[in-house]
Structure 1
Amino acid sequence: MTFKRIVSGLVIAGVVGGGAFLWLTQPQRLPADVWTAVNAPDLANGERMYHAGGCASCHAAPGAPDDQKNVLAGGLALKSDFGTFHAPNISPDETAGIGQWTLAEFGDAMKQGTGRDGEHLYPSFPYASYAHMTVQDIADLYGYLKTLPASANVAPGHDLPFPFNVRLVLGGWKWLYLDDGPRVELASADDSVKRGQYLVEGPGHCGECHTPRDILGGLKTDQWLAGGPNPEGEGRVPDITPREGGFGSWSAGDIASYLETGFTPDFDSVGGSMVAVQKNMAALSKEDRDAIAAYLKAIPAR
């Protein structure tokens, strides 16, 4: 009888504990007044956030020519150790895209990883970085996306094996990794470095590729921007910290020039998936590229 009571107690404790954990990690939304308090969208700044975030790199149709890059029809396959994710249509189409989404729904996806229907979104959509963005910048981006061409393309769903196809587990992932605090603490930083930190850690989501991940797919922030295995499966993504003998030999001017032109200090050219990133960076202002360079020179070497 005592053994049965112990087992029963453990089962009850497990059920109660599991229920409490699911309650604590359920999809979250920001208060509605967060989004009603924003200013009318600044479309020029929205376009800046669009390029900083590289939206077209993932959400344009695979192989789309340059004149179709702003048609965010979705469909790109993103292969990972957890399965294959497909980028959704985020054009203003009212059926296939986000044409009927409200700003609050869009904002909760960006900052909370919560979908329109209240579901957890997979972090293949880098909301762990977008969570660092200001509410106004997200509102401006939303306004700009509404001006782009609509597409009726229905993107494929994700192709994930069990248990990764169970969205409930994402609440635990968020509990571990969704944090809008700074990725690195800088002892002192001028306005340019602070702007660079915002662009790199937030909309630019540079750490999503340039930072190694743990077994659960979370960023190892103690190795921020120190490089890691290529998520596409071949080679490595480089360390872009100011490490001696590596990226540290580049000056801030070298970095800013590379982001603008695609040429390295030794006249090599950008390659691989960085080609699309560099094109997006080239569309930013000189001040933003300089700020990104200043931040990359200010972070700890790894």
Structure 2
Amino acid sequence: MLRRFLLALLLVGVAGLGIFWWLTIPATIPANALPSYTPDPANGLTTFNAGGCSSCHAIPGQPDRTRLGGGLAIPSPFGTFYVPNISPDPKDGIGGWTEADFVNALSKGTSPERTHYFPAFPYTSYQHAKVEDIRDLFAWLKTLTPVSGKARDHDLPFPFNIRRNVGIWKLLFMDGKPFTPEPTRSAQWNRGAYLVNALGHCAECHSPRNFLGGIIAAQRFAGGPNSEGEGWVPNITQKGLGDWSEKDIAYFLETGQTPDGDTAGGSMARVIRNTSQLSAGDRDAVAAYIKSLPPVEGPPRPAKKKEG
């Protein structure tokens, strides 16, 4: 009887492992599924700025936004991630990647080695980007100066360091749907919605997350604790920006100056370095979309500690 029980237990375990392995196969788009296309590097630059690539991938502590050697440390509740080199260096960067490798990285969160990227890389937003924009971005990145040197490995404890587990996370928090314009809205609003929800990945920072690290959909854009450390990320729905006009938002994206004269700091200062390079039309589109967000109550801020 015991032998039969142990055998059954073993079979259940093997079957469970097989199901887990099948469910967590990294998704890919084969190269032959990409139609013939002539990339537009100029639009690739726009995509680079809208996507905020330099905010994370530029080498920390130097002024050149195009030296994409990585190395920035991103702390999180799950450990510390270190941003990789995405310069066209053939050894340490993405110089040896194919266009399909790059499309898979951004739209599927899958590496050229067919492993899962950790979702500190905001592919949950980039999955909604147009494939043409991703291909244009890849073409523009290839025009940059290669930077040698690899970032150090992520510092993650078990079980968060097991990449295969990310496959289950993706099943929970990735829908794989492209951005779909809202036909009842203006072209400007739809452009803003695309920039905010796909390339700009604004919700990745401006939304609270659950214990698994997924965005809490009901509080999207409602702010919350800064997952990278101390501080609080502001609510950018009308609950938080009700007093801001569209012009105020567009001006902030250009200059980092708030209506009350304050200045963007921290990681938002890096974001402004990108949004300031967008066209005025794109900043106005983002502002129009942000201003349209209905008020959403965010998580309560912790009470300030009284000084003893």
Normalising to structure 2: TM-score of the pair?
0.91
Give 1:27's aligned residue.
Answer: 26
Among 43, 55, 71, the alignment partner of 1:57 is 55
Work out the CA distance in 2 between the residues paired with 1:8 and 1:52.
56
Runs of at least 5 residues in structure 2 that lack an aligned partner in the other structure: 297-308
Identity of aligned residues (%): 51
Aligned-pair RMSD on alpha carbons?
1.9
State the SS of the aligned residue for 1:159: coil
Among 161, 166, 185, the alignment partner of 2:162 is 166
Work out the CA distance in 2 between the residues paired with 1:212 and 1:184.
24
Matched AA of 1:283 = Q
Matched AA of 2:283 = R
Are 2:136 and 1:140 aligned? yes
Contact 2:56 2:70 in 1 (8 A): yes
Work out the CA distance in 1 between the residues paired with 2:78 and 2:180.
27
Are 2:280 and 1:286 aligned? yes
State the SS of the aligned residue for 1:273: helix
Q: Structure 1 stretch 77-86 or stretch 14-23: which is displaced more?
A: 14-23
Matched AA of 1:48 = T
Contact 1:183 1:221 in 2 (8 A): no
State the SS of the aligned residue for 2:75: strand
CA drift at 1:96: 0.6
Runs of at least 5 residues in structure 1 that lack an aligned partner in the other structure: none
Q: Deviations for 1:21-66, whole angstroms, at most 9, x for unmatched residues?
A: 321221111132333x1521111110001011111111111111x2
Mapping of 1:173-188 within 5 angstroms? 173-181=169-177, 188=184
Work out the CA distance in 2 between the residues paired with 1:97 and 1:171.
24
Give 1:79's aligned residue.
Answer: 75
Number of residue-to-residue matches in the alignment: 296
Are 2:245 and 1:251 aligned? yes
Contact 1:57 1:277 in 2 (8 A): yes
Matched AA of 1:284 = L
Matched AA of 1:138 = I
State the SS of the aligned residue for 1:41: coil
CA drift at 1:82: 0.8
Q: Structure 1 stretch 3-12 or stretch 207-216: which is displaced more?
A: 3-12
Contact 2:109 2:123 in 1 (8 A): yes
Q: Deviations for 1:63-95, whole angstroms, at most 9, x for unmatched residues?
A: 11x2x2211011111111111111011100110
Among 84, 91, 97, the alignment partner of 1:95 is 91
Give 2:305's aligned residue.
Answer: none
CA drift at 1:5: 4.3
Runs of 4+ in 1 over 6 A off after TM superposition: 182-187
Are 2:226 and 1:227 aligned? no
Give 1:119's aligned residue.
Answer: 115
Among 196, 200, 206, the alignment partner of 2:196 is 200
Give 2:12's aligned residue.
Answer: 13
State the SS of the aligned residue for 1:214: coil
CA drift at 1:118: 0.7
Q: Structure 1 stretch 224-233 or stretch 186-195: which is displaced more?
A: 186-195
Normalising to structure 1: TM-score of the pair?
0.93
